[in-house]
Structure 1
């Protein structure tokens, strides 16, 4: 007995030892495994866990972060590779999934679920007992004698391609919407439902879903719940709502106005900087004031800011100081830049204003009219004393409905100072039309502003080509156009980065009545009414001018050579004659060579030509006045020795004109040069720097002329009382006519040439003054006996020797006759 028991006891001890060893190993492995693994996971080691099958973490199947969790894998999701096959749906479960046949189908094995597409045996339910699956898709099998028929339940119909297949009838797309227009039709197998659209709700007493459902709009803005941000205003729309920025606010970067999520911030004064490259103290002071307005701007005070801005602009333009001394291209470039900036600032300030309309008239007669509306339709009319505008509401709003619609007109008379002396660009069709009308070549057009400059702006900033035209009526000073003049509607157009000019493209002048001109334009800009003077070349008059000037230049050159070389006639009067001819020669030569401004732009060459013409023609008139002074001393005072010395004559003849030209150039250097001709610009009365002295000299010489004729009449009576009246009248007439040309009295025709289209005055003035050199040559050279004697003496030197004796005797006889008849010389 002891032996077996002992063996059994030893065996038990061995079993216990092995168990202890296994328990120790298990405890060691357990201590090596992570204790923090979340549910649905197993431990891999001390730092890693693995999600159970059907679960996954954000880091994958295995993870090391204690923040991770194992989430169910949706095997039925869109991106899953699981496919249950046709007529089956995938049903997700925690950690797994299963497939079931859709309603009306069942597995051939009668099982309820399966796992993959290969197990899919979903088939139509056998409606007919004797012939299973003959009628498909819920079709009802009806046995008949010798055959069978399939009938479809309501909402289904037999397929045209398969008489055993029932297909769904889509009532919602059948062409006749069975639901009320306030609902959406939802088709289902065998029927349809009428459900309210998003943003709608059933009317009281009407359930949502039946075929007779009727809905109404849900007013989200009055629901009591804040739908929009506090910086916006909620606007209910049919089926939805919008959030619009409050007045004086604008969408924050990244947001759009009138959206459900719109968020806004307060408007700021738009950035407005001076044009680059233009230095002007007046402009600098103005933009300093703009910076002050920018710094102190508050949307609630937008109206006051707008008034302060208009006053600041008026102050700058009323006393422009150095602005008027800028070259025309720089001045017009500044005008272009200024108008664009002015428009942008006014548009922004108008959007911040609380009211619906606003009109302001500044002390300088600058008028601003604004109309601000949330909604509109059809044609809109607005205006003020200078301009009125008729346009379509859709044009004012533009493509984007981003806030209140703004329409504005700013009319400024002071703006003319910036746009003075600007050129006018005509369309090629207009030039051809003018050529046909006047039967002469068109050379150019000179504009003259009649109205205020009207800056028109809208909320719509895309106004270069409008969908429908805008009609304007601009007020201006009543004026009747001349034969070659026309009232036109023009707008200010930029030349890019260089300058700007007036243009007519896209604008049509409809008519003028009682100081108001109506226009129609397909774009917006800054508009004005201009009086356009068309320069149509008169070929006959141009030919007369050129031939007359050439002949006059030849005669003036002969006069200059005669006065320099003929010694017997040297004296103070000859000095006056000489310098008069020199001034006329130089002035006529410059006029003939450079009066026309071919390029159309007033450059340095054109200004230089205008200055030289101004100086030499004024100098010629100064010498004409000295002709009158010499004539006064010769005829009236009768004492030749009381005349002026040569240096005094030169000081008056050249110094006075130099002083006038110097002062004129210092005051208004831009007055020299015009678009078509290199002459004085009539703007700001600058032409009177020439007409004033000329008128004064002509009037003084007229007094001398009348006095001379009167004294000559007395002298002729005293010298020869028995002279025949006819001869006496003839001598007086010749003398009087001669003095008319010497004293410049023929320029009176030019002073009275108010209408350049008066052909009689134009031809008379052109003929008399172009041939002034010829008249001076005849009067001072051909009709002067001493000069004729000198001419004969010069001619005798080149004549053959066999005629020398005859020439000498003739010269002697002529000399005696000259001494005998000196008192009757017409060269006086």
Structure 2
């Protein structure tokens, strides 16, 4: 294991001795030679957008009749970064191929990245050669001023979201009437996952300053878990809305929320498995791009289907029951934030508008907890009424027995007059099941048109 400050480190497998050449009694035994190159500029390459970010080290066997390659056990090479990779840019493990392009060049055949941090990268290769690590610098760097502003926005946004996510969880947990339905229970679990993610992120820098390896792994494990749990609950929210609005079923599903909880908090098993298989993954850079992308694709598909279904319901609803454009926009914005679709902005952070998209991505996602509080607490009448019943005093207090769906706040409900029946010719005298059903549906449609339908 390399000491702190080691610039280059090579660990050779035991199977390497099987590749030693045969030698006679009057010949020198084979040796392993190591070379260290302190001038990286000696290795000039035509790789665009990539730079050699380490010194070059090589290992070879003397008197070998052929190159040492295709080893059954890997050679482990750890190289120190000349420029700290604090932005977690893509790194590539390569070796110098003297036969490439006629004059030599970097090649990655037989080499792969094992793990990488801001200071070190460990590579695994199946042959002996000249080793190095390339750093991808093709993406536009964020200037220090914008980077500092984005950092401040991130910490402030996460702090604000943590506060309002806590209020949301407390509100829906304390007031039993608010958590009777499935959407509210799913919202509680989603808010808990996002609250955990924000809190761990806020204390991450402080805990990492202690320099304790075990604490670093624990924090990375916790953050990875809450991130995956947040996306899982966003996906379950999309699935529930799909079931409720598209696949409308009246069949009782036993332990519906219990099954959702088992799936929603399932990433705990995944994180434990990663911890058992490769604990070093949590001490370096662990990417979750693939699960995140799949989750966003699933949410986006369900989002489009749900919007189409809601639109069809509004078109087919009787006249006088359609809501305005602002109400529809509010519903779309609420769904977008609840399903975490603002994360898709992160896939557009390239090109000339990269800085603008980074600001939008930072604001939307760090303040997601605040937006959830606004749409699902502040703008919901039943939540405001519970606040007024249990938390307010004086003229702002609302008596619990006066809470009625048809009554305004503080105003008694007025009886609605019976709607006048339109004179229609009677068709009940015709002895036909079709005419009877037509008459019944006609009466039903007249009654429904007189009352405001519930908002879907």
Compute the TM-score of the two structures, normalised by the length of structure 2: 0.65
Q: Which of residues 452, 458, 479 in structure 1 aligns to 2:95?
A: 452
- Counterpart residue number, 2:259: 648
Q: Which of residues 418, 428, 436 in structure 1 aligns to 2:77?
A: 418
What whole-Å deviation, never above 9, does each CA across 1:776-804 have from its counterpart, x for those lacking one? 111211122111110111233xx24xx37
Match runs of 1:370-449 below 5 Å: 418-419=77-78, 422-426=79-83, 448-449=91-92
Following the alignment from structure 1 to structure 2, what is the Cα–Cα distance between the partners of residues 535 and 771? 22
Following TM superposition, by how much is the alpha carbon of 1:654 offset from its aligned partner in structure 2, in angstroms? 0.9
Following the alignment from structure 2 to structure 1, what is the Cα–Cα distance between the partners of residues 384 and 247? 28
What whole-Å deviation, never above 9, does each CA across 1:227-274 have from its counterpart, x for those lacking one? xxxxxxxxxxxxxxxxxxxxxxxxxxxxxxxxxxxxxxxxxxxxxxx9
What's the Cα RMSD here? 4.4
Following TM superposition, by how much is the alpha carbon of 1:611 offset from its aligned partner in structure 2, in angstroms? 1.4
Following the alignment from structure 2 to structure 1, what is the Cα–Cα distance between the partners of residues 211 and 377? 43
- Counterpart residue number, 2:197: 587
Following TM superposition, by how much is the alpha carbon of 1:362 offset from its aligned partner in structure 2, in angstroms? 5.2
What whole-Å deviation, never above 9, does each CA across 1:551-599 have from its counterpart, x for those lacking one? 1001100111011012222232222111111111011111121158966
- Counterpart residue number, 2:161: 552
Q: Identify if the C-alpha distance between structure 1 residues 713 and 275 changes in structure 2 by more than 3 Å, giving closer, same or farther.
A: closer
Following the alignment from structure 1 to structure 2, what is the Cα–Cα distance between the partners of residues 755 and 301? 61
Following the alignment from structure 2 to structure 1, what is the Cα–Cα distance between the partners of residues 88 and 244? 49
- Secondary structure class of the residue paired with 1:823: coil
Are the counterparts in 2 of residues 552 and 773 from structure 1 also a CA contact under 8 Å?
yes
Following TM superposition, by how much is the alpha carbon of 1:625 offset from its aligned partner in structure 2, in angstroms? 1.5
Are the counterparts in 1 of residues 207 and 215 from structure 2 also a CA contact under 8 Å?
no
Are the counterparts in 2 of residues 444 and 535 from structure 1 also a CA contact under 8 Å?
no
Following TM superposition, by how much is the alpha carbon of 1:728 offset from its aligned partner in structure 2, in angstroms? 3.7
Q: Identify if the C-alpha distance between structure 1 residues 760 and 444 changes in structure 2 by more than 3 Å, giving closer, same or farther.
A: closer
Are the counterparts in 2 of residues 781 and 787 from structure 1 also a CA contact under 8 Å?
yes
Q: Which has the higher contact order (CA 8 A, sep 6+)?
A: 2
What whole-Å deviation, never above 9, does each CA across 1:186-216 have from its counterpart, x for those lacking one? xxxxxxxxxxxxxxxxxxxxxxxxxxxxxxx
- Counterpart residue number, 2:187: 577
Following TM superposition, by how much is the alpha carbon of 1:810 offset from its aligned partner in structure 2, in angstroms? 11
Following the alignment from structure 1 to structure 2, what is the Cα–Cα distance between the partners of residues 562 and 603? 38
- Secondary structure class of the residue paired with 2:91: strand
- Secondary structure class of the residue paired with 1:816: coil
Q: Which of residues 541, 545, 549 in structure 1 aligns to 2:150?
A: 541
Q: Identify if the C-alpha distance between structure 1 residues 815 and 559 changes in structure 2 by more than 3 Å, giving closer, same or farther.
A: farther
- Verify: 1:530 aligned to 2:134, yes or no: yes
Following TM superposition, by how much is the alpha carbon of 1:532 offset from its aligned partner in structure 2, in angstroms? 6.0
- Counterpart residue number, 1:376: none
Following the alignment from structure 1 to structure 2, what is the Cα–Cα distance between the partners of residues 757 and 664? 36
Following TM superposition, by how much is the alpha carbon of 1:808 offset from its aligned partner in structure 2, in angstroms? 3.5
- Secondary structure class of the residue paired with 1:780: helix
Q: Which of residues 674, 696, 713 in structure 1 aligns to 2:311?
A: 713
- Verify: 1:779 aligned to 2:375, yes or no: yes
Q: Identify if the C-alpha distance between structure 1 residues 572 and 747 changes in structure 2 by more than 3 Å, giving closer, same or farther.
A: same
Q: Identify if the C-alpha distance between structure 1 residues 620 and 598 changes in structure 2 by more than 3 Å, giving closer, same or farther.
A: closer
- Counterpart residue number, 2:454: 823
Following TM superposition, by how much is the alpha carbon of 1:722 offset from its aligned partner in structure 2, in angstroms? 4.5
Match runs of 1:143-292 below 5 Å: 285-286=14-15, 289=18
Following the alignment from structure 1 to structure 2, what is the Cα–Cα distance between the partners of residues 592 and 275? 32
- Counterpart residue number, 1:371: none
Following TM superposition, by how much is the alpha carbon of 1:283 offset from its aligned partner in structure 2, in angstroms? 5.8
Are the counterparts in 2 of residues 450 and 476 from structure 1 also a CA contact under 8 Å?
no
- Secondary structure class of the residue paired with 2:283: coil
- Verify: 1:476 aligned to 2:106, yes or no: yes
Q: Which of residues 591, 615, 634 in structure 1 aligns to 2:225?
A: 615
Q: Identify if the C-alpha distance between structure 1 residues 595 and 622 changes in structure 2 by more than 3 Å, giving closer, same or farther.
A: farther
Following TM superposition, by how much is the alpha carbon of 1:620 offset from its aligned partner in structure 2, in angstroms? 1.2
Following the alignment from structure 1 to structure 2, what is the Cα–Cα distance between the partners of residues 624 and 751? 18
Following TM superposition, by how much is the alpha carbon of 1:361 offset from its aligned partner in structure 2, in angstroms? 4.6
- Counterpart residue number, 1:173: none
Q: Identify if the C-alpha distance between structure 1 residues 607 and 755 changes in structure 2 by more than 3 Å, giving closer, same or farther.
A: farther
Q: Identify if the C-alpha distance between structure 1 residues 532 and 601 changes in structure 2 by more than 3 Å, giving closer, same or farther.
A: farther
Following the alignment from structure 2 to structure 1, what is the Cα–Cα distance between the partners of residues 349 and 289? 12
Q: Identify if the C-alpha distance between structure 1 residues 809 and 700 changes in structure 2 by more than 3 Å, giving closer, same or farther.
A: closer
What whole-Å deviation, never above 9, does each CA across 1:153-187 have from its counterpart, x for those lacking one? xxxxxxxxxxxxxxxxxxxxxxxxxxxxxxxxxxx
Following the alignment from structure 2 to structure 1, what is the Cα–Cα distance between the partners of residues 246 and 401? 35
Are the counterparts in 1 of residues 81 and 120 from structure 2 also a CA contact under 8 Å?
yes
Are the counterparts in 2 of residues 632 and 708 from structure 1 also a CA contact under 8 Å?
yes
What whole-Å deviation, never above 9, does each CA across 1:597-647 have from its counterpart, x for those lacking one? 966989332222221111111111111121112212222234466455232
Following the alignment from structure 1 to structure 2, what is the Cα–Cα distance between the partners of residues 633 and 501? 48
- Secondary structure class of the residue paired with 1:634: helix
Q: Which of residues 245, 248, 263 in structure 2 aligns to 1:635?
A: 245
Following the alignment from structure 1 to structure 2, what is the Cα–Cα distance between the partners of residues 757 and 782? 34
Q: Which of residues 24, 28, 32 in structure 2 aligns to 1:298?
A: 24
Specify every segment of 5 or more residues in structure 1 that has no aligned partner in the other structure, as ranges: 1-273, 277-281, 311-335, 367-413, 432-441, 456-472, 479-499, 503-524, 675-679, 682-686
Are the counterparts in 2 of residues 424 and 447 from structure 1 also a CA contact under 8 Å?
no
Following TM superposition, by how much is the alpha carbon of 1:449 offset from its aligned partner in structure 2, in angstroms? 3.4
Q: Which of residues 206, 213, 216 in structure 2 aligns to 1:603?
A: 213
Q: Identify if the C-alpha distance between structure 1 residues 743 and 300 changes in structure 2 by more than 3 Å, giving closer, same or farther.
A: farther
- Counterpart residue number, 1:167: none
Are the counterparts in 1 of residues 348 and 354 from structure 2 also a CA contact under 8 Å?
no
- Secondary structure class of the residue paired with 2:246: helix
Are the counterparts in 2 of residues 445 and 532 from structure 1 also a CA contact under 8 Å?
no
What whole-Å deviation, never above 9, does each CA across 1:288-314 have from its counterpart, x for those lacking one? 648xx49x53387779x68xx89xxxx
More strand by share: 1
Q: Identify if the C-alpha distance between structure 1 residues 529 and 703 changes in structure 2 by more than 3 Å, giving closer, same or farther.
A: closer
- Verify: 1:694 aligned to 2:292, yes or no: yes
What whole-Å deviation, never above 9, does each CA across 1:299-337 have from its counterpart, x for those lacking one? 87779x68xx89xxxxxxxxxxxxxxxxxxxxxxxxx9x
Following TM superposition, by how much is the alpha carbon of 1:720 offset from its aligned partner in structure 2, in angstroms? 3.4
Task: Kindly name which structure, 1 or 2, has the bigger radius of gyration based on alpha carbons.
Answer: 1
- Counterpart residue number, 1:10: none
Are the counterparts in 2 of residues 423 and 501 from structure 1 also a CA contact under 8 Å?
yes
Following the alignment from structure 2 to structure 1, what is the Cα–Cα distance between the partners of residues 208 and 365? 24
- Secondary structure class of the residue paired with 1:637: coil
Following TM superposition, by how much is the alpha carbon of 1:529 offset from its aligned partner in structure 2, in angstroms? 5.5
Following the alignment from structure 1 to structure 2, what is the Cα–Cα distance between the partners of residues 578 and 596? 28
Following the alignment from structure 2 to structure 1, what is the Cα–Cα distance between the partners of residues 211 and 390? 50
More helix by share: 2
- Verify: 1:739 aligned to 2:335, yes or no: yes
Following the alignment from structure 2 to structure 1, what is the Cα–Cα distance between the partners of residues 94 and 210? 24
- Secondary structure class of the residue paired with 1:418: strand
Specify every segment of 5 or more residues in structure 2 that has no aligned partner in the other structure, as ranges: 4-10, 34-54, 109-118, 122-128, 414-450
